[in-house]
Amino acid sequence: MREAMFIESLIELRNVRKIYRMGDEKVVALDNISLTFEKGKIYCLLGKSGSGKSTLLNLMAGLEKPTRGEIVFNKKHIERMSEKELAIFRQKYIGFVFQSYNLLSTLTALENVTLPLILRHVRKRKRSKSAKEMLKAVGLADRARHKPAELSGGQQQRCSIARAFVNNPQVVFADEPTGNLDTKTTIDMMDLITGIAKRNSQTLVIVTHNMELSSYADQVIHVRDGKIESVEDMPKKNENTDNGEMSHEKN
């Protein structure tokens, strides 16, 4: 019990409820959710399509507001923030990795990765240097001038990962990050994303229906019908596993 007193929480959800109204009908997407996410840990929100896991991610990221309840990020109530405050909050603290990559087709890989730094008004020379370093870290140094259409699916996701981490955010949300990738590329991407997060002591929240991805997490949160079905602490991986993850990052 004493150890719990020293837990450094990053995100707390307190009795969160989310209801969508469709005409006269109301759909309870999340029902009375209370969870704590600690700094530097990897979490997996696991559930079938329609379980509420993506809604849960959207609420934590400030993309949607709860119908009821509190969402506290670094002791700040994001459910009370205005849209302008939420936009600044996301730019400062959050990175996103999406299944569909969400790269801008008219921009090069370097320009796509630079975007979050432009929004934070980082000077041109510094943001260019940071973006190049991230592209090198994900193995795309030689693809910096290529546009998304000139990259494979795995390369596009690497670019998306570089963009998510370039701001050094406190938390990265990955929504079905490997849904469009084959098995080998999925392993490479998961090794890469978890390796970067561990190296920088960042919190990573992975949303997926793929049970195999749960092995990368410190804790798996099973979501079903808008409720938390169970919370499972995963056994710690040995140092060799961690080193293996990091080695992919440098490829």
Structure token digits, residue 190: 């998961």
The first and second tokens of residue 129, run together, are 């240097």
Task: Write down the pLDDT at residue 12.
Answer: 96
How many angstroms separate the CA atoms of 193 and 78, rounded? 26
Nearest residue to 132 (alpha-carbon basis) of 123, 119, 141, 120: 141
Are 43 and 206 a contacting pair, CB within 8 Å?
A: yes
Instruction: Give kind and range of the element (H or E) at residue 31.
Output: strand 25-38
User: Of 207, 96, 202, nearest to 159 (Cα)?
Assistant: 96
Q: Which residues contact 250 (CB under 8 A, 6 or more apart)?
A: 137, 139
Q: What is the pLDDT of residues 181-207, one digit of tens each?
A: 889 999 999 999 999 999 999 999 999
**Do 158 and 139 touch, CB atoms closer than 8 A?**
yes
DSSP sequence for 50-111: TSSHHHHHHHHTTSS--SEEEEEETTEEGGG--HHHHHHHHHHHEEEEETT----TTS-HHH
Tens of pLDDT, residue by residue over 86-121, are 999 999 999 999 888 999 999 999 999 999 999 889
Model confidence over 1-48: pLDDT tens digits? 444 445 578 999 999 999 999 888 999 999 999 999 999 999 999 999
Q: How far apart are CA 234 and CA 142, in angstroms?
A: 37
Identify the band that residue 239 occupies on the pLDDT scale cut at 50, 70 and 90. Answer: very low
d(CA 75, CA 167): 21
